[in-house]
Chains A and B, each alone.
Chain A
Amino acid sequence: MRKFTKPTWLAIGWLSLMMFFAIFGWVLPFKSWNFVYEDDLEVGLFTNGHILGTDSNGYDLLASIVAGTRMSIFIAIAAVGLGGLIGSVLGITAAYVRGKVDTVMVTIFNVGLSVPNLVLALALVSVLATNVDINQAVPTWRRVMVLIMSLTIVLIPILGRIARGATLSWTGREFVTAARSMGMRDSKIITKHIVPNVLPALIAVAFLAVGVVIIAEASLSILGVGIPDGASWGGMIARGRNDLEYAPHVLYVPIFFLALTVISTNHLGDVVRAQLDSREAKV
Chain B
Amino acid sequence: MLKISFWLKRIAQLLIVLLLVTFGVSLLLRLIPVDLATVLLPVGTENERDILREELGFDKGPIGYYLQWLGNFVQGDFGKIYFSGGTEEVSAHLADAMPRSLLLMAYTQVIAIAIAVPLGVVSAYRAGRRADKIISNTLFTLSSVPNFAIALLLVIFVGVKFAWLPTLGYVPLSDGVWEHLKHMIMPVISLSLGLIATYTRLLRADMIAALREDYVTMAASKGLSDQRILWRHVLRPSSLTLLTSAALSMGGLIGGAIVIESLFATYGVGFEVFAAIAGRQYVALQSTVAVIALFYVFFNLIVDIASGFVDPRTRDRRVNA
Q: Give residues of chain B (12-57) contacting chain A, Cβ–Cβ below 8 Å.
A: 13, 16-18, 20-21, 24-25, 28-29, 31-34, 39
Taking a contact as CB atoms under 8 Å apart, the answer to whether B259 and A223 are in contact is yes
Complex CA gap A132/B33 in Å reads 5
Q: List the B residue with the shortest CB-CB distance to A220.
A: B259
Complex CA gap A73/B211 in Å reads 42
Taking a contact as CB atoms under 8 Å apart, the answer to whether B293 and A211 are in contact is no
**Cross-chain pairs A/B with CB under 8 angstroms, 23 sampled:** A108-B20, A111-B17, A114-B296, A115-B255, A115-B292, A116-B251, A116-B252, A116-B270, A119-B258, A119-B270, A122-B258, A127-B32, A130-B34, A218-B148, A222-B148, A223-B262, A237-B152, A244-B156, A248-B156, A255-B149, A255-B152, A259-B146, A267-B140
- Interface flag for B274 (CB, 8 Å): yes
Complex CA gap A257/B156 in Å reads 18
**Number of residues from B at the complex interface, CB < 8 A:** 50
CB within 8 Å of B: which residues of A? 107-108, 110-111, 114-119, 122-124, 126-127, 130-132, 134, 211, 215, 218-219, 222-225, 237, 241, 244-245, 248, 251, 255, 258-259, 262-263, 266-267, 270
Q: How many A-B residue pairs have CB under 8 A?
A: 124
Complex CA gap A266/B33 in Å reads 39
- Expressed in whole angstroms, the minimum distance between the Cβ of B304 and any Cβ of chain A is 13
Decide: A263 near B29, CB < 8 A? Known: A218-B148, A248-B156.
Answer: no
Q: Chain B residues with Cβ under 8 A from A122's Cβ? A: 258, 273-274, 277
- Interface flag for B97 (CB, 8 Å): no
- Expressed in whole angstroms, the minimum distance between the Cβ of B185 and any Cβ of chain A is 18
Taking a contact as CB atoms under 8 Å apart, the answer to whether A118 and B146 are in contact is no
Complex CA gap A57/B230 in Å reads 57
Taking a contact as CB atoms under 8 Å apart, the answer to whether B33 and A130 are in contact is yes
Q: Chain B residues with Cβ under 8 A from A127's Cβ? A: 28-29, 31-32
Complex CA gap A119/B274 in Å reads 8
Q: Which of A119, A224, A241 contacts B152 (CB 8 A)?
A: A241
The 8 A-B pairs with the shortest beta carbon distances in the complex, nearest first, are A116-B256, A263-B144, A126-B277, A215-B146, A266-B144, A255-B149, A111-B20, A114-B296
Q: Binding site of A, secondary structure by majority: helix, strand, loop or mixed? A: helix
Complex CA gap A185/B89 in Å reads 59
- Interface flag for B284 (CB, 8 Å): no
Q: Chain A residues with Cβ under 8 A from B17's Cβ? A: 107, 110-111, 114
Q: Chain A residues with Cβ under 8 A from B145's Cβ? A: 259, 262-263
Decide: A218 near B146, CB < 8 A? Known: A114-B17, A123-B28, A251-B156.
Answer: yes
Q: Which of B144, B255, B280 contacts A259 (CB 8 A)?
A: B144
Decide: A244 near B160, CB < 8 A? Known: A122-B277, A237-B152.
Answer: yes
Taking a contact as CB atoms under 8 Å apart, the answer to whether A244 and B152 are in contact is yes
- Interface flag for B113 (CB, 8 Å): no
Complex CA gap A276/B50 in Å reads 61
Q: Chain A residues with Cβ under 8 A from B263's Cβ? A: 222
What mask results when residues 264 to 291 of chain B are scored 1 for a CB within 8 Å of chain A, else 0? 0000001001100110100001000100
Taking a contact as CB atoms under 8 Å apart, the answer to whether A223 and B274 are in contact is yes
- Expressed in whole angstroms, the minimum distance between the Cβ of B85 and any Cβ of chain A is 20
